[in-house]
Chains A and B, each alone.
Chain A
Amino acid sequence: MTGRLLLAAAVLFLLAFLLTPTSFAWLFQPVTRNNAPAIYTQTPLWSLTLSHLALVAVAVIASTVIALVLAVLVTRPAGREFLPLARTVTSVGQTFPPVAVLALAVPVMGFGAGPTLVALFLYGLLPVFENALAGLTGQPPQVAEAARGMGLTPRQRLTQIDLPLALPVILGGMRLTAVISLGTATIGSTVAAKTLGEVIIAGLLSSNTAFVLQGGMVVGIIAVLLHEGFQALERMAAARTGLNR
């Protein structure tokens, strides 16, 4: 209960801060020096937040769709041959540093939101794919047996049994992807993407800690909210499966 109250308070604080950032100037004034501005005003914070969230949302949705399709394909009989390869690629791919992926996308895409989107998309594929694979292959054998006994076609088994049962795990992958993307998107501002990283970088360049703090704070609060939101969805999905985990 206290957890929910804290979350609600965080949402209210975030909204209030984004709508009227200047009324929180007193909060950041102590960490500024030489009368530097306490609040970043070059671009409204709410618009940076929206474009940041849009970037993350597009990347997460795109990587979820592609990763799910791939996971379904490699777990069908026709795609089984790709399964070992897919596992290797996901575990190796996750060791690639997101910053390096972002930097390498710049020569291909140019500066702006493009490379950030590509890096977030590629990096986001892996957690969802890995979890979807675990969810689709990790079912209790009795379930598969029962589904076959009921005379379900492979397609029905996929849509009515396998995917719903794997949903909580898939959502877990989406949660990882979303939280990682949210943090990584801030680095996107080094290649001129419009995200909250702009505030942090402005702070770094003008050694104004207030900017660094407010950029980090907004991203941090959103990350916690996303994390909690996905976990609530996971619990709901898990309750619907009726399996005791």
Chain B
Amino acid sequence: MHARLDRPGLLFAAIGLAGLALPLVQFKPNRIVLGEGMTLAAALPLGMPLALLLAAVLVAGCWRSSAAWRLIGAVGALVGLVLALGGSAGHLTPPDNTLARVSPSTGFWLTGLAFALMLADAIGRMRPSLPVRWLLLAVAVGLVAVVLASGILDGVSVMREYAARRDIFLREARAHLFLAFGSLGLALLVGLPLGVALHQARRLRGPVLSVLNILQTIPSLALFGIMIPIFGWIAANVPGAAQAGVAGIGVFPALVALFLYSLLPVVSNTLTGLTGVNPATREAATGLGLTSTQVLTWVLVPLALPVLLAAVRIVLVQNIGLAVIAGLIGGGGFGTFVFQGLNQTAMDLVLLGALPTIALALVAGIALDLLVEATSRRPKGT
């Protein structure tokens, strides 16, 4: 009997059952006051059977079973949990009451964590092939989109904050994406040639890399702050700059700060990628009569691609996270909601900024991991 117990399953069950015993939602008369916690069983008419069902999935996970079953169980339970959250928001909020808020509470997060871990464990055990993992990622993103679009969650506090500022949210989302991807683009535009140049000019490597290293040690908050007067000065003193939209406050200082942070990963990974190519390969290419530019573009860069993509992953995930700080200096992005929420102690607003940021970083990180794997697995000799 003992041998058939699944240890990770026991851990998930412990976390999940604790979550089910804790309040699923907080019911608050308005968005700022502290609310009253309600467990799943108390928050919904059908809460008790649903809680028992979720508990059954957790307990069943304690015994060894095929990974596919665990995957199905975990996904089903996650969907059920989210539906329960949406359902209890609709059930608890009195009709025509626009002030009352129902927000997810400890129980929701803990139970969600337990099933997310179960899901991750199941996927890890299945060792899915690369295409299957792409498919899983697409299905997960699709599922989230369907749930959000369906309006099931519209009664939940975060979604009500969203509904109250839909246009601003879309604007800040665009700003956030622009900051993260724009700074990545700039870093690639400057960092790749710089890395190639440093690869040729061995003597400059040390000094340039240490300057970039020191740039990374400046706390993000300070780097963003330092950019403000610099850009203010440019706007005031460079003719045409102010007309072009350059200002001390806004998107430019944030973009440049993120760009500076991104340079080190791009440059150092370009160098690592290029120096990592087997010297024999390079000699063979030269022996074939390729010029040095051809060697670089046809041989070195394709071979260094996985390392370059790894740099893109580091930079993108890092910048999606750091772009939050732009909200503090008027640079826009999801950080606007986070810091507004912190100032007003309106935690639902903080969630509205933090959750999309986390989701974005997560998807970008997983997608680029898959890309790195896809490029490094390419058959040798082509």
Residues of A within 8 A of B (CB): 31, 78-79, 81-82, 84-85, 87-89, 91-92, 94-100, 103-104, 106-108, 179, 182-183, 186-187, 190-191, 196-197, 200-201, 203-204, 207, 209, 212-213, 215-217, 219-220, 223-224, 227
CA distance A121 to B144 in the complex (A): 29
For residue B76, CB closer than 8 A to chain A, the reply is: no
CA distance A197 to B222 in the complex (A): 8
Would you give 13 A-B contacts (Cβ < 8 Å), ordered by A?
Answer: A81-B7, A85-B120, A94-B365, A97-B320, A97-B358, A99-B322, A100-B357, A103-B341, A183-B217, A186-B222, A187-B325, A190-B328, A215-B219
Contacts of B365 in A (CB 8 A): 91-92, 94-95
For residue B20, CB closer than 8 A to chain A, the reply is: no
Question: Could you tell me the dominant secondary structure of chain B's interface residues?
Answer: helix
Contacts of A191 in B (CB 8 A): 342
Contacts of A97 in B (CB 8 A): 320-322, 324, 357-358, 361
Q: Which of B117, B218, B358 contacts A216 (CB 8 A)?
A: B218
Closest to B123 in A: A88
Interface segment, one of B44-52, B165-173, B223-231, B295-303 = B223-231
Q: Which of A88, A106, A219, A224 contacts B222 (CB 8 A)?
A: A219
CA distance A97 to B350 in the complex (A): 14
For residue B375, CB closer than 8 A to chain A, the reply is: no
Q: Which of B342-373 contact A (CB under 8 A)?
A: 342, 347, 350-351, 353-354, 357-358, 361-362, 364-366, 369
Assess the A88–B124 pair: CB atoms within 8 A.
yes
Known: A106-B342, A200-B219. Is A92-B120 also a contact (CB below 8 A)? yes
Assess the A197–B350 pair: CB atoms within 8 A.
no
Leading 3 A-B pairs by shortest Cβ distance: A216-B222, A97-B321, A212-B225
CA distance A60 to B228 in the complex (A): 32
CA distance A190 to B335 in the complex (A): 12
CA distance A201 to B335 in the complex (A): 15
Q: Which of A89, A183, A216, A224 contacts B225 (CB 8 A)?
A: A216
Assess the A207–B228 pair: CB atoms within 8 A.
yes
Assess the B124–A209 pair: CB atoms within 8 A.
no
Contacts of A99 in B (CB 8 A): 321-322, 324-325, 335, 338, 357
Assess the B217–A223 pair: CB atoms within 8 A.
yes
CA distance A191 to B339 in the complex (A): 9
Known: A82-B7, A98-B321. Is A187-B221 also a contact (CB below 8 A)? yes
CA distance A196 to B219 in the complex (A): 10
Q: Which of B154-212 contact A (CB under 8 A)?
A: none
Contacts of B362 in A (CB 8 A): 92, 95-96
Contacts of A85 in B (CB 8 A): 8, 117, 120-121, 124
Known: A95-B317, A100-B357. Is A212-B222 also a contact (CB below 8 A)? yes
